[in-house]
Structure 1
Amino acid sequence: MQLPLFPLDIYLLPNGICKLRIYEQRYIRLVKLATTNHHGFGLCMKIDDTLCHFGTRAIITDFDPLPDGFISITIKGVEMFLINNHWQDSDHLYIGDTSPVPNWHSKGINFIDQSISDNLQQLFQQHPDHARYYPEPKFDDITWVCQRWLEILPLEVNQKQWFMSRNDCSAALSFLHTVISNNANLK
């Protein structure tokens, strides 16, 4: 699938939601393309000046013109993808030839994983501005919980890319148990 690409330092996974402020002409064009192609656009990261291999296809769920002439969009991650090839148009908008990567399957919470979900719920309570993006959170789905944790933790780009290359949430869950256990022991 050919997608317009938006390289940002934002890590968004399937079912993740965030807001973006759009002001550059090339990204205004990206918004137009994303709303007319019905596939959305690709959100991807960069290391130095190089696009990373994995990204997330996002759709625009809300659109607001801003008083300064810019626009605000709310986006939702749909599926991960692999960039096979990319190029830049004359206005420097990246376009990529992408292949979908299977989404991690939903999985119920095991007793041993409940603390991962409980800690995310506490974080959402402490940050209602972030929680409002998720009016129907899925704290009973360990895959959804792991993806939200990965989006908000301060990880290096190569770590984020590695998690995206996994077939399921197992590696993320193992990592989160280590991180949350270590932080619980520090209290």
Structure 2
Amino acid sequence: MQTREMALLMRDALLLPQGRLEVRIVEPCYLQMVADVLKGNCALAFATVKPKGYPPCYPTATQCEIIDFNQLADDSLSIVLEGQQRVRILWAEQLKNSLWMARTLPCPNWQHEPIEGEFALISAALQQFYEVNPELLQLYSQVHLEDAAWVSQRWLEVLPMYNKDKWLLVDQPDCHKTLDFVLQLIKAHVD
């Protein structure tokens, strides 16, 4: 596997492969980073902020593409990111303009697998969640409620949990622990 240098965009949010996230860009240095990414000058990785540590993010990030952008009424920029590939941050450095660049190594994405048995409840609950939160559903042209990996990752992106707890699940080799965790949460709220 080959390493790759990427610009790091860090926020207090989670973006995983096939996920989509809308991010507001205000600072001029980040506007320049977006321009560089769109010109093909560098790749972009989205990382979740970690309060303590260097770099100030978790060691696994998601290479992503900018799939849409809009200028907002306050002249800031809204970009929609789509997660592509999990990457491990090998090292990172902060540049003079305050942006971060990282050397990354691709990591395996969770494999697609069908949702079966009682885990269909997780998929149905995600569909209901999107009905209540249509602004999140609008980010997707297609949803894959039949795919356990896709559904698990979307739940991890939206669950109100501490990031350190999410990363215990994100760093697993597959979606099974996340499926179990989310199923237990749903059952606890139904009972």
Normalised to the residue count of structure 1, the TM-score between the two structures is 0.93
Selected match of 2:123 from 117, 134, 151: 117
Distance 1:39 1:107, change over 3 A: farther
| Identity within the alignment, % | 28
**Displacement of 1:111:** 1.8
Q: Aligned-pair RMSD on alpha carbons?
A: 1.5
Selected match of 1:33 from 33, 36, 56: 36
CA distance in structure 2 between the partners assigned to 1:67 and 1:132 by the alignment: 20
Give the aligned partner of residue 9 of structure 2.
Answer: 6
**Displacement of 1:163:** 2.0
Selected match of 2:177 from 164, 171, 174: 171
CA distance in structure 2 between the partners assigned to 1:63 and 1:170 by the alignment: 34
**Displacement of 1:61:** 0.3
**Displacement of 1:39:** 6.1
**Displacement of 1:21:** 1.2
CA deviations over 1:66-92 (Å, ceiling 9, x no partner): 343321111101111111000011111
CA distance in structure 2 between the partners assigned to 1:17 and 1:142 by the alignment: 17
CA distance in structure 1 between the partners assigned to 2:89 and 2:169 by the alignment: 16
What letter is aligned with 1:153?
L
Paired residues in the alignment total: 185
In the TM superposition, structure 1's runs of 4+ consecutive aligned residues that sit over 3 Å from their partners are none
**Displacement of 1:153:** 0.2
CA distance in structure 2 between the partners assigned to 1:105 and 1:136 by the alignment: 18
CA deviations over 1:160-185 (Å, ceiling 9, x no partner): 22222111101111111111111111
Given that 1:55 and 1:83 are in contact with CA atoms closer than 8 Å, whether structure 2 keeps it comes out as yes
CA distance in structure 1 between the partners assigned to 2:137 and 2:74 by the alignment: 27
Is 1:136 the counterpart of 2:139? The answer is no
